[in-house]
Structure 1
Amino acid sequence: MFKDRTFAAGAATAGAVVLAAAGCSSGGGGSGGDDAPAAKAAISPANGTRDVAPDQPVVVKADKGRLTAVTVADPKGRKAQGGLAADRLTWRTSRGLLPATTYTVTAQVAAGGGKPVTATSTFTTLTPAKKLESGMSPLDGERVGVGMPIQLLLTRPVTTEQGRQAVERSLEVRMSKPVEGAWYWISDKEVDFRPREYWPPGQKVQVVARLAGVRAGEGLWGVKDRTLDFTVGPRHVTTIDAKRHRATVTDGGRTVRTMKVSLGKPGDDSYTGMMIAQEKQAAMVMDSATTGNPGEYRTPTKWNVRMTYSGTFIHSAPWSTGSQGSANVSHGCVNASPGDAKWFYDFTNRGDVIEVTGTTRKLRFGNGPTPWAKSWDEWVKGSALGAPVKGVQLSRS
């Protein structure tokens, strides 16, 4: 559970609680204790209320006194964060509560400078008809390339604009070097974040998804918060020219290796477009059955770096070394010599940028994490809120 969780606001019904009068005071000219007005507090939701919507705010209002302290806590001691108005007459939560949870409100009010007295109220939030949970990528603690997006993967579809906006508002990206970025709804069950430009190398990133208590649709509520921390590695960018049959690998803008390659033959053309290294596997079997052509080939390969969901890899291909650097003869992958493929495999981080040019087959957006296949303006239009966001400064503590 995210330690700093805060909570969202909405309408409420109040239950008035009359508090005992403040203690006696002495001295001429002032009101005695018996004359001091009774302090009161109204707590909403009222004591004993059940099936409270998690996005309904907890509101405490003081009468004949000032609030000195308010806590809203569940049985495990987890506290809802809220704010006290400047006049100390009102306190309210600021984000959603946990569903299916009992909360106790404890409020202290002081009248006329006397000793504070306490009122309490207990209520229970509703049990969702449908629960929304999430997963995230990159992996927690992973070091990634400068092109890696943040992927929030949802267990249920969020289909309404209002629900998507609520989900986006619950998301925060904290950065050691704050830059501009935006969220984009890839599908009803996935929303991705990318910076406007590639991540700065060395960037430390923390993603906070405060989904607990978020109303994401009819009967659909977020039930759990999630956090993710990752770091950004060096600026690795590889360009692959299908016409020249060359791959140029750069590190921080400096060319560190040029490799002879062979791409897809006519009819099996490789994709042209901006991709990222999605995963790495030291050994696997390339099977044409996975591309809808069973029996055409089934070949063990080494040093595989995936570029698309549909099965495009850079990998070792000792059988095509005679064509590498001069002809495109593969079934769509990028063939390299065993030595070059091993070097590239070791060099590459997930999220490194790979750009292919010179083929007639254009990369389809969504064929893997493909945030760089769209312009910045196109990407921003995919946000339910319709606007970019600035990263929040990551605390050094």
Structure 2
Amino acid sequence: MSHTPRLWTVLSCSLLVASLGAGATACGTGDHPLSASPYDAADQVAFNQKAGSRPIDPDRPLEVTLKGEEGRITDVTVTDTHGRRLAGELSADGDRWHSTASLAAGVRYALTVSTEDEDGAPGRRTLSFETTPAKKLLKAEFGPEAGTYGVGQPITAELSEPVKDKAARAVVERALVVESSPRVDGSWYWVDDKKLHFRPKEYWPANSTVSVRSNLEGVRVGDHLYGAAATPLKLTIGDRVEAITDASAHQLTFKRNGEVINTIPVTTGKPGFSTRNGVKVVLGKEYFVRMRGTSIGIAEGSSESYDLPVYYATRVTWSGEYVHAAPWSVGSQGYENVSHGCTGMSTGNAAWFYENIRAGDIVKVVNSIGNEMDPFGNGFGDWNLAWDKWRQGSALLAGTPDRTPADTARLRPQV
């Protein structure tokens, strides 16, 4: 490819300008190579995968090379239908560009190659191609359902396939984006190979909004495993509500946005059935529950056996711990612990509590002789892990120093 006439024009213009002296102009800038419209670089570059009607294999790296020894490649951009740019590396002499990240599966790409010839004139080659769809998809389902929740509500992500490899977990975690207004510092925690929880460093700010989305669609996670599209989620966070039960004082203190709203006499678990200490998150509310001792391992007919209709029940563990009406123990409420692990109160107080609490609110028990609330597996005990330990459950943050919200955001670029 030759552009000698253009070079001759430039040289002639330069000589003429020199002869006219400083500040004189005799040629228009349109004759300069850099001002020319890009020529078609189709004959200057080659691709290792053919573009056309047939999709290409996303498992193969993409490569653009220069034909011959004249000119060079100056830039390559490859963007998919989701606006994600494919990372790549250009050689120092501009004769080769290759992708450094995996292509996404089942998407269309737009590729633009910028070049210049031996005279510095710009060239361009554009084309588009599709990649073959993935045969095995990794789906992510976010929870809880859209709605309004308390400041303690974790975000959950359930995966359709187990992800064990640390590098693959990092790919997944980077693509699961949680944004809040106002902004907070937070992190995902891998509960197991198929389940992640997200929580902020502190409780969500009262009256904030939280949005969750996935950039995983088409992204290569592992061998022949690619991300699927996911339904985004939006939550509203209500007031900061905390119900703090002091098991030794037999009293529940109800706080809203830091202000004490109510104090309620209660009874908690007696010896052998002591209520768990620690922070629990309200899982839901049930106006009526039939509670049986057999559900917690008490043999039917034993001295501890019971079968009771219970009203205004607020659930805090999957194993059956509630805050509920217990009219049979009113004489003990405020004085001694006589329950089988639940927090009991009068029917009137339980009705008030039921009306003023919602899923995601904090229920904290202190000064009980019971065990500590498990972080996972029996509800949402996430807040019982200190922040430094929580970070160790992240594939991106484990082993790194604590970060600001801006640092955390940089860990979640578009993929």
Shorter-chain TM-score above 0.5 = yes
- In the alignment, structure 1 residue 185 sits paired with structure 2 residue 194: no
SS of corresponding position for 2:232: strand
- In the alignment, structure 1 residue 289 sits paired with structure 2 residue 294: yes
Work out which of the two has the higher radius of gyration on C-alpha atoms and give 1 or 2: 2
* Cα separation, partners in 2 of 1:38 and 1:373, compared to 1, 3 Å: closer
Which residue number in structure 1 is paired with residue 142 of structure 2? 136
Aligned ranges for residues 265-344 of structure 1 at < 5 Å?
A: 265-293=270-298, 295=300, 296-344=305-353
Distance in 2 separating the partners of 1:304 and 1:95: 52
- The answer on whether the counterparts of 2:40 and 2:123 sit within 8 Å (CA) in structure 1 is no
Q: Which string of whole-angstrom CA distances, capped at 9 and with x for unpartnered residues, describes residues 340-367 of structure 1?
A: 1111111112211111112222222212
Distance in 2 separating the partners of 1:57 and 1:280: 53
Aligned ranges for residues 82-97 of structure 1 at < 5 Å?
A: 82=85
- The answer on whether the counterparts of 2:148 and 2:238 sit within 8 Å (CA) in structure 1 is yes
CA RMSD between the two structures: 3.8
Aligned ranges for residues 214-229 of structure 1 at < 5 Å?
A: 214-229=219-234
Distance in 1 separating the partners of 2:216 and 2:41: 41
Which residue number in structure 1 is paired with residue 19 of structure 2? none
Deviation larger for 40-49 or 279-288: 40-49
- In the alignment, structure 1 residue 377 sits paired with structure 2 residue 382: no
* Cα separation, partners in 2 of 1:102 and 1:189, compared to 1, 3 Å: closer
Unpaired runs of 5+ in structure 2?
11-30, 411-415
Which residue number in structure 1 is paired with residue 16 of structure 2? none
Which residue number in structure 1 is paired with residue 201 of structure 2? 196
- The answer on whether the counterparts of 2:267 and 2:336 sit within 8 Å (CA) in structure 1 is yes
* Cα distance, 1:269 vs structure 2: 1.3
Which residue number in structure 2 is paired with residue 127 of structure 1? 134
* Cα separation, partners in 2 of 1:248 and 1:114, compared to 1, 3 Å: same
Which residue number in structure 1 is paired with residue 21 of structure 2? none
TM-score (norm 1): 0.76
Percent identity over the alignment is 31
- The answer on whether the counterparts of 1:66 and 1:111 sit within 8 Å (CA) in structure 2 is yes
Deviation larger for 248-257 or 362-371: 362-371
Distance in 1 separating the partners of 2:198 and 2:328: 40
Which amino acid in structure 2 is aligned with residue 184 of structure 1? Answer: Y
**Which one has a larger percent strand, Structure 1 or Structure 2?**
1
Q: Which string of whole-angstrom CA distances, capped at 9 and with x for unpartnered residues, describes residues 268-294 of structure 1?
A: 111111111122222222233332336
Q: Which string of whole-angstrom CA distances, capped at 9 and with x for unpartnered residues, describes residues 7-40 of structure 1?
A: xxxxxxxxxxxxx999x99x9666999xx78554
Q: Which string of whole-angstrom CA distances, capped at 9 and with x for unpartnered residues, describes residues 317-350 of structure 1?
A: 2222222112212121111111111111111122
Unpaired runs of 5+ in structure 1?
1-19
* Cα separation, partners in 2 of 1:121 and 1:135, compared to 1, 3 Å: closer
* Cα distance, 1:251 vs structure 2: 0.9
Which residue number in structure 1 is paired with residue 50 of structure 2? 46
* Cα separation, partners in 2 of 1:310 and 1:223, compared to 1, 3 Å: same
Which amino acid in structure 1 is aligned with residue 379 of structure 2? Answer: G
1:346 corresponds, among 330, 352, 355, to: 355
* Cα distance, 1:169 vs structure 2: 1.4
* Cα distance, 1:158 vs structure 2: 1.5
- The answer on whether the counterparts of 1:245 and 1:261 sit within 8 Å (CA) in structure 2 is yes
Which residue number in structure 2 is paired with residue 168 of structure 1? 173
* Cα separation, partners in 2 of 1:37 and 1:321, compared to 1, 3 Å: closer
Which residue number in structure 2 is paired with residue 211 of structure 1? 216
- In the alignment, structure 1 residue 365 sits paired with structure 2 residue 375: yes
SS of corresponding position for 2:285: strand
* Cα distance, 1:122 vs structure 2: 3.0
Deviation larger for 235-244 or 167-176: 167-176
**Which one has a larger percent helix, Structure 1 or Structure 2?**
2
Which amino acid in structure 2 is aligned with residue 371 of structure 1? Answer: D
Distance in 2 separating the partners of 1:79 and 1:93: 18
Distance in 1 separating the partners of 2:83 and 2:98: 10
Which amino acid in structure 2 is aligned with residue 313 of structure 1? Answer: Y
* Cα distance, 1:211 vs structure 2: 2.2
Q: Which string of whole-angstrom CA distances, capped at 9 and with x for unpartnered residues, describes residues 51-106 of structure 1?
A: 423xx676667886889997756xxxx44432799x9x99999987653x253546
Which residue number in structure 2 is paired with residue 247 of structure 1? 252
